[in-house]
Amino acid sequence: METKCLQLDDDNMNDHNVYPINLRISRQVPASRGDMSDANSEEIVKTKYLLGADGGHSWTRQQVGLEIAGNKTKVHFGVMDIIPVTDFPDIRISCSIHSAKMGNMMTFPRENRLVRFYVQLAETGSERDDFDTDKVTIEMIAEKAATILSPWSLKYEHCDWWSVYTVGQQCAPKFDKDNRVFLAGDAVHTHSPTMGAGMNVSIQDTYNLMWKLGQVIKGTAQPHILSTYNNERQSVATRLIELDQEMCKFYEKGTGSDARHYNEFYGRFRTFLSGVGVEYGPNVLIPCTHKESSTSEPRNSFDRTSLAGRIIVGQRLPSYLVLNHAEANIVHVYSILQSDGRWRLLVLPGDIGEPTQLTRLQDFCKHLENASTFLRAYTPEDKHLDSVIEILTIHAASRSKLELSDLPKILCPFDPKLGYDYWKCFVNNNDGEEGAFDDAYERWGLDKKRGCLVVVRPDQHVSLVCDVEDVDQLEKYFGQIFVPQSRMRESERASP
């Protein structure tokens, strides 16, 4: 298959019920396949949305007229995955090796005895100017690696893969075309291979987009949330380039030349790379960020970040250990935030063993049980009530003094065929009374006498923190994201 042409129907780009993207595709069948009836035939594919994850020379990016800007350096790396035969004692540890005269190299142990080597091929200015990557062979990369590693020896019999990179630190200023054509990965950001960040950041790009796109296509979310993809991921890519430039300076000088600053940098880079340190917003999905709430400017109507001082709105929710109320099993919070496209409303009501706190929780749950509440308004009639927004409770009462039956029924729903759902209610470890593990409330900066509500997106980033009484805030927030299902059904009935 070969894509010949991409055309956009500009007049209908804002109507998300139509298919404004036309792809002309050529079907090419080799003669050796025998049946040539469809050879070299063409067809037109119409689609609502298109994702281009087609690399640094992205055809999709060129077709929609998006540019990529930045520096194409003269720094070249050979990369090889080999089974090394060596007397180097730290070959199964990630290493940064700096040779005073022969260049630099990094090693990363892999599976099945493999080790990945990043080898700087051109060290001096004249070598960089004259370097021809087309003439590089695996033997040249291995020889340079052995020279850098000297006096230890390095040989190999098996090479699984190898390539040559010229470092390009580039980033596109925009990751989408009219919220219809999206670009991800190397198609919109390129950098050096030194820290292995490319796959992580690229996967995070597509994950960020896919849950939003899935909800828009299903008709549960409003199309304008797609604009947050560019808002969130372009800034991450810009930060990636900045960190990569910093890393390349360490790499060229040798990390040992300034070990203290390198260790500080590596800590920041590791947090960024894992995604834990990435902070999104402000946008329609994250109306108030931690950065905003830290300023002296007037706070917006969604700002309740002080209720959970260590939960940073816009970042991933920190995960700590809690106890399943029914089973008494210790679980990580991340394990109950499954990656299945659902939003989570974390009800953190504090110590509901106290009558005042229990009353606050009961009043909130009465609102949830109302037929017009967001929980019912945005859930399709043929789906379970938790199929769009799942409610999970982590309370700070003593488990031995509180039964599940004491909680409002909506927090522990009953199914006539399956019984109670025992995996929605959890207990905080108050002062270590449940065992030697985290006090999640303390780690999150929560007041057990007040509690709060936390809205968590499908990608585990925190969208909103509010008081247990802030039902109007929740209604307003979800109202600007989701599509009322009655309206969607009316639209479907009106369609031919």
Instruction: Let me know how long the chain is.
Output: 496
Tokens 């409002």 — which residue? 408
Q: Concatenated DSSP letters for 111-142?
A: STT-EEEEEE---SHHHHHH--GGG--HHHHH
Which CA distances in Å does 434 have to 57, 97, 437? 55, 47, 8
pLDDT > 50? residue 298: no
**Domains identified in the chain and CATH numbers:** 1-48 (no CATH), 70-169 (3.30.9.10), 305-493 (3.40.30.20)
Concatenated DSSP letters of 13-82? TT-TTS--EEEEEEE---GGGS--TTTTEEEEEEES-EEE---TT-HHHHHTT---EEEEEEEEEEEEEE
Cα–Cα dist 167/169, whole Å: 6
Joined together, the tokens standing for residue 456 give 């968590």
Token pair for 272: 């960024």
Task: Give the helix/strand (H/E) hosting 491.
Answer: helix 485-494
Which H or E element spans position 242? helix 227-253
Tell me how many degrees the CA angle 318-204-195 measures, rounded to the nearest 5.
90
Q: Residue 210 burial by CB count (10 A; 0-12/13-18/19+): exposed, middle or buried?
A: middle
Of the listed ranges 98-107, 133-142, 422-431, the least confidently predicted one is 98-107
Which pLDDT value is given to residue 261? 81
Task: Give the model's confidence band at 294: pLDDT under 50 very low, under 70 low, under 90 confident, else very high.
Answer: very low
Q: Is 207 helix (H, G, I), strand (E, B) or coil?
A: helix
10 Å Cβ neighbour count for 372? 10
Query: Is pLDDT above 80 for 463?
Result: yes
Mapping DSSP onto H, E and C, the string for 431-477 reads: HHCCCCCCCHHHHHCECCCCCEEEEECCCCEEEEEECCCCHHHHHHH
37 pLDDT exceeds 80?
Answer: no
| Backbone torsion region of residue 350, taken as left when φ is above 0, otherwise alpha when ψ lies between -120 and 50, otherwise beta | left
Element (H, E) at 181: strand 181-183
pLDDT of residue 353: 94
User: How large is the average pLDDT for residues 287-308?
Assistant: 59
pLDDT score for 4: 85
Contact at 8 Å (CB) between 226 and 213? Answer: yes
Backbone angles phi, psi at 86, to 5 degrees: -155, 160
Angstrom distance (rounded) from CA 456 to CA 472 = 17
pLDDT in tens, 340-387: 999 999 999 999 999 999 999 999 999 999 988 999 999 998 999 999
Query: Which residues in 40-78 are b (16+ Cβ under 10 Å) and which e?
Result: eeeeeeeebbbbbbbeeebebbebbebebeeeeeebbbb
List, for residues 160-204, the tens digit of each pLDDT value: 999 998 878 899 999 999 999 999 999 999 988 766 678 889 999
Mean pLDDT of 111-121: 94
Q: Does the structure show a pLDDT above 70 at 487?
A: no
φ, ψ at 418 (rounded to 5°): -110, -10
- What pLDDT score was predicted for residue 30? 64
State the DSSP H helix or E strand holding residue 419, giving kind and residue range, or none if neither.
strand 419-420
Q: What is the DSSP string of 291-332?
A: HHHTSSSPP-TT--GGGBTT--TTSBPPP-EEEETTT--EEE
pLDDT of residue 387: 96
- Interatomic CA distance for residues 350 and 488, integer angstroms: 37
pLDDT in the model for residue 192: 80
